[in-house]
């Protein structure tokens, strides 16, 4: 499943880039994300995503690895994990592209997600809707955080 979201913010790319590396702050923008830990700065992190999908409460411990970082232009990371209770596995590749846009910035967030296990029985439509809602909330919160700080 592929989702793309764009955020226009009234702050320059240097401020957005600094925000993106404040992993704990970015994680607070993602619904259900908690217990974020830095394992190796700018390389590896751990987090827990806990959300309700249909009748299930899914808790997925994530191993997050930075795959590529091109200063003030692009940040690509992969998160993967498995909920031991439901057997739901999750793999997400997050590709963030940052551009100057007038006196502000444009941040494009492309998410490729693979989900397997018990959640799949709810069908692609429900899962896509839940993921889309989470990405919309994430984008809105990131924009608000950036504009409040800038």
**By residue range, what is the domain housing residue 49?**
2-149
Q: What percent of the chain has pLDDT over 90?
A: 54
Distance, in Å, from the CA atom of 150 to the CA atom of 140, rounded to the nearest integer, reads: 15
DSSP state of 103: T
Q: Can you give the pLDDT at residue 123?
A: 61
Q: Tokens 């827990």 map to which residue?
A: 48
Q: Tokens 């439901």 map to which residue?
A: 86
Closest CA to 68 of 103, 90, 93, 92: 93
Distance, in Å, from the CA atom of 89 to the CA atom of 95, rounded to the nearest integer, reads: 20
Torsion of CA 11, 13, 15, 17, to 10 degrees: 140
Number of structural domains found in the chain: 1
Q: Residue 21 is part of a domain; what is its CATH number?
A: 3.30.530.20
- pLDDT band, residue 133 (cuts 50/70/90): confident
The reported pTM is: 0.86
Q: Can you give the pLDDT at residue 43?
A: 96
């Amino acid at each position: 499943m592929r989702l793309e979201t764009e955020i226009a913010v009234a702050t320059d790319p240097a401020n957005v880039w600094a925000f993106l590396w404040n992993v704990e702050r970015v994680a607070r923008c993602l619904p259900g994300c908690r217990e974020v830990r830095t394992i190796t700065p700018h390389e590896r992190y751990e987090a827990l995503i806990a959300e309700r999908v249909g009748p299930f409460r899914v808790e997925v411990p994530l191993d997050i690895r930075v795959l590529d970082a091109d200063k003030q232009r692009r940040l690509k990371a992969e998160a993967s994990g498995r909920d031991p209770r439901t057997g739901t596995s999750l793999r997400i590749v997050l590709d963030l592209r940052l551009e100057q846009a007038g006196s502000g910035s444009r941040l494009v967030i492309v998410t490729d997600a693979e989900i397997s296990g018990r959640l799949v029985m709810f069908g692609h439509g429900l899962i896509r809707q839940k993921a889309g809602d989470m990405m919309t909330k994430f984008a809105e919160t990131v924009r608000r955080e950036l504009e409040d700080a800038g």
